[in-house]
Every structure is written in C-alpha cells, then in structure tokens.
Structure 1
Amino acid sequence: MDPTEELPSMMWGLDPIFSAFARLHISDILHMRESCQVADIFFYQSHPIHNLDVLGTVVYKRERDDFICYGVDDATGVINCLCWKNDQMKEELDSVSGSPIDGLQGGFNLTVELKKLRQAQQSHCHLEIGELLRVRGPLKTSRQQREIIAYTYYKVNDPMMTVQIEWMTKVLQLYKDFYDKPLHLQTNTTNEYPISSLTKATNIIKDYLDQSCLSKFRPYDVLDLLQPLITSCTETGPADQQPSMLLKEVLQVLKDEGIVYGRLESQDKVYFVTTQDKNLFMAVKDIIREDSKREKYQEKGCHILHILSAVRQRHSMNVSKAVLELVLKTLECNSDIVSTRDNYFTMF
C-alpha cells in the first residue's frame, strides 16, 4: 500500500497497530499526517494510529486546578501531555501538602499509614522538571498543536538509565518489525488460500470453550464437535482415525497458545482451561503478593521467569510461559496486578 494512500476507516481494525498503544518517536508523532476521514486519527506510513505510549524527560510543567501539562522530551522532540487530576488528588493536595505527617508515639495508626500511602501515590503523579515520565493515551490536536491526553501516567525511577536504554532498544525493534513495514491486507476472493481444516477445528474448540466456560475437559468430551467438519472434508484416510488425529493437533495448538494445559501427566489426560482455572490464578496472585514484599523485588517487581519457576513448584510443572502470560494479562486487565515494566509485575 502506498504510504500516501489512506486506508478506509472500516478496515482500520485489520491493522493490529491501530488497537495497540504505539511506541513511536515524538518527532514522528509530531509529523504524522492526520486522517481525512476521522478527526484525531493519524497515519504513520500506512498504519492508522490513535493511542500512544511515550517515555521521556519532563522539560516544562504547567499546573491548573483540574490538570497538569507536562512537556515530555524523548531526545527526538517534545510533546505536550495533558494529565487530568482525579477528584481524590484534588481533595488531598491541600490537606496532605499543607500538613506533614506527625510522628507516632508508638503502635500502628491506620490514619497515618493511609496518609503515607496516599503521599506515595501522589509522588508518582506529580513530577518536576528533569524527572522521567511515562504517558499512555490518545493523540489529539488542540489549538493547532498535538498533545497526548493521558489515560495513565506515572513517574519512572531510573537512576541507572536501564529503563530508558531498554525502552529505546525496544522502540527501534518495533520500528523494524512493524511500524516501517507496509500494511498488506490479503483478500481471498478466489479461494486460492482456503482455510485449513486445522484452523477451522481450532476455532470450533475455542468457541466451545468460551461459550461453555469449562474449567477442564478430556479429549473425548470435545471429540464429537469435530465430526461435522470431518464428514465435510475429502481428505483420505480411515474415517474413524481422522477426528482423533485432528483433535490431537488442535490440542497442541491450544497448548502452544497457552489456552489449555495439562496439570498432570496420566493416561486419562485432563486439560485445564487457563482462563477458568481459579486455582492457577490464585497461585499466581499469591506468589506476586508475597514476593513483592521482599526487598529484592520491591523496586522492580517480580520477573515473569521468577513467577513461572515459582508457579511450577507450587502449582504444576506443566505450566508453560504462554499459559502464565495469559494469566498475567488477565490479572493486569482486572487491575489485580500492575506491570512496572516489560515482564515485571507487582501488587499493591
């Protein structure tokens, strides 16, 4: 696709970058061309862009009653980031900043501890010039200037610049693998590339697991679901062996994607559905909650490989990284855990 040719809006969802928070250089953000179909949609090359993920140094700050404007510099350019204050922050700004925490005579005081927690929270939302800020949100045009309206923003502690180096390396890789590659939409009007039987069978089993909300199953429980697909195919081979062979391949695909896993190795194979396994979710949360309190993991959180090792010891040796990634993604979407950086997780 020609970079100057704009993709019709009804097809934007076919580009996975449109649904993601794109990590672009600020210089590219400022020079992207705006869509002629929908306001506040921009195009980098042939990719439609709406949401952004930016990391940079605060170079200016303007504070108002309802919001704070930070100028963020990533060494390629500077962009304005509008960060709204929530009601709790506005109410506590005066009370917390105006009255320091009094010392305790002894014992545990819930009010004082809560005030400490709120002060720590506010310290991550109020930055000064020279501090590192991460912002995620949509790109808008205001007064003929582009700015990011923050969904999420927080201060990043990076005294050794490890986060910034890791970030810049990752962004360059994203440019190479995705952003600078043209979008190719494959149309299949001539059926030159028909959907394979394996793909059809995999989708059938996925839909069934989603609709039934099963927490576990045995292969023979879902074998009949593939029978209509087998009878409609013209593949050669004994008919009584085709469903079981196809199901074996489907289960392997689901295992590779982390959708199912086998907790125990036995002749009577039982597969557990990852998103429905409450015991697995509980084990992961307990591990992150307990280890996040340890001094070693307090600052950065627990790495995914550490969590995987602990889950295998506590829950099942058959838990794969793909399974754990799906669990962590679900927990983060439910706000049960927080990602402090790539592949690091903690719980407050």
Structure 2
Amino acid sequence: MQNEGKSSEEEPPSLHWGLDPIFSAFARLYIKDILQMKESRQVPGIFFYKAHPIYKVDVLGTVVYKREREDFFCYGVDDGTGVINCLCWKDEQWKEGTETVKCTTLGGFHLAEQLQKLQQAQQTSSCLEIGDLFRARGPIKTSRHRDREIIASTYYKVEDPVLAIQISWMMEVPQLYRRFYDKPFQVPITGSEVEGFQSLPGLLGQVCHTLKDFLRETGMGSFHAHDLETVDSLVSLASRPLHSPSAQQESAEMLSTSKQVHNLIRQAVQILQQEGLVFRKVNSQEEVYQVTEQDQELHKVTKEIIKEDSQREKYAEKGCHFLHILSCVRESYSRNISEPAMHLVLSTLECNSDIISTADNHYTAL
C-alpha cells in the first residue's frame, strides 16, 4: 500500500503547477489517497498528493451502492482501498427517450435501427448495478456535506470476465506511484535558463542572484543551509510580497513570512546546486554545502588527478577526458560532485594556468 496522500511538503506556488505533467493527466490514484489528499489553499478544487497538483482522476472499482435521479446516477465505487462517490450525469437521451429517426433504407443499411441499437448499447454501458466493474474519469469535488466525490466526465461498465483488465490495472498503478506520484516534482531548469535565472519567478530569481553575490563577496568556503536565514540581505529580499497578482490576492492565505523566507532560500540553494556553484560533499541531516569556487581541496585533488593521469601513455596525446576526471574525483573526493560543478572547477584551474584544455573535452597539466 502506498503512503498517505497527506504530505509534509509545502504547497508549491500555483505558477509552477502547469509544469508538472501530472497536473494535466487523469491521475490513476488509489481511492484511499484521493480521499486523504489536502485541498489547495490557493485554488479550491485542486488537491495535492506529495506536492503534485491534481484535479482529475481515473478510477476502476466495483459498484457497492447506486442511487438514481432524473438527471444523474450516483455510484459508490470500491477499489479495495476505499469507497468514493461518483456523480454521473445522464445524457439527453435518458431524459427524452430514444428518438424516432425517419429515414429510408440505404443499400440495406437501416439507419434508424442502427442508431437505436447504438443508443441502447450506450445506455447499457452507463447504467450499472451493484457488483459491476466500473471505470470513471473526471475532476474531484467536495460536496456541501464536505464529502469528496468524482464528477465523472466519462464513465462506463467494464466487461472483464477473466479479470484481465483488473490484473493489468493492479500491476500498472503501483508502477505509476513508484515512477511518478511518489517522486517530488522539481521545476526543470536547463543550462541556458539557469545562467542568468531568466526562467525563474521574479522574487526567486533575485534571491538566487543575491545568494550568488553573497557567496563570492564573502569568500565563504562552506555553509549550513539554515545559517543563510540569518543573512540580512537575503532575509529582507526573500520576505518581500510575491510579485504575481494571484499571489498578492491570496497572500493572506499563503505561507507566513518566515516560511516564505525559508522556502525561497532553500529553493535558491537548490538552483545554485544544479548550476554547480555549490555541492554537498557528504549527505547528512546538517545540510552542509561547499562553495565550488572556494573549495581548494577539490581544486587540488582535480589538478593532481590530471597531472598524474596525463603522464600515462593512454592520455599522453590528448589528455584526460572530462568524464574520466569526473569519475576519479567522485571516487577520491565526493560522489556528489555534479557535471556543472566539475566544469566550473576545470574552468577555474584553466584560468589559473594550472591545466590546459585540448580538443573534445580533454585536459592536460602544464
């Protein structure tokens, strides 16, 4: 069974929701998780499973109760983890009955007869009884009685005499959880976008710039992530109201100022880590980050690897390839060194005339 839909992670800004592919999909979640998801504080009708914004789902289960009204059916659907109500609106044919189509026979094809058969088949597939296998897709809503339900945009009876569909579903859904739903979504950032932070929201981009300048000006070699929350220039900037109009309108319902500062600084550190400006030498609860440009030990290790290996016959002609250097540094210094961080180290060593680059990402010592 999967973890609960309730997550300790903070609700991401609405500006980022559309970047999560799950937001646009019919999420195949267990009913238990649908019932436990937290509703957004920013936009009613949007729910969160582990920071993934979700508003429409796809469920498969057994009908355990049924209620019919003039305009709709209500089916209780049980998938083995919980029961949820599905509100299924009737098509016009249910209200008006099957219309009589007056038309002549065309080449032995009776249009009226075939249309009537089609309507009957559609009614049969959408009118279920207790015990039938039922599939529905649609948005999630909270009713007046605070009960969560699915407003089905598509629903039908599933014919599954040998349980092939149910077995396939039970094998596929856990894979979706492992590969997508249980993994936190991170805003994708390309190399060109990170450089200059053009793609970032206004305030977050400014915090990234300020943090980057602060690390260079102070010459700080390492820092604890929580210590940055005491830096006046970062705190004063990160505590400003968000520039997005929707965020300003909902500012009273959003995170407190202290949490906003905490979240923005943590996001900025993560972005600098993706850019290679900082890295964590050792993964620990203390969250100690090394500043790549200031880590003299890292520079020394890299220089010695290139100096030693470039003397070997294999690398004598062209020098050591970037990936070879990266692999050696990860083995001898830290497995957390990223490719952007390694590029930055090599660039610094080259600027200091400690190494020289040759063709095709090869480096040799001077």
Q: What's the TM-score, normalizing by structure 1? A: 0.49
Structure index of larger Rg = 2
Q: What's the TM-score, normalizing by structure 2? A: 0.47
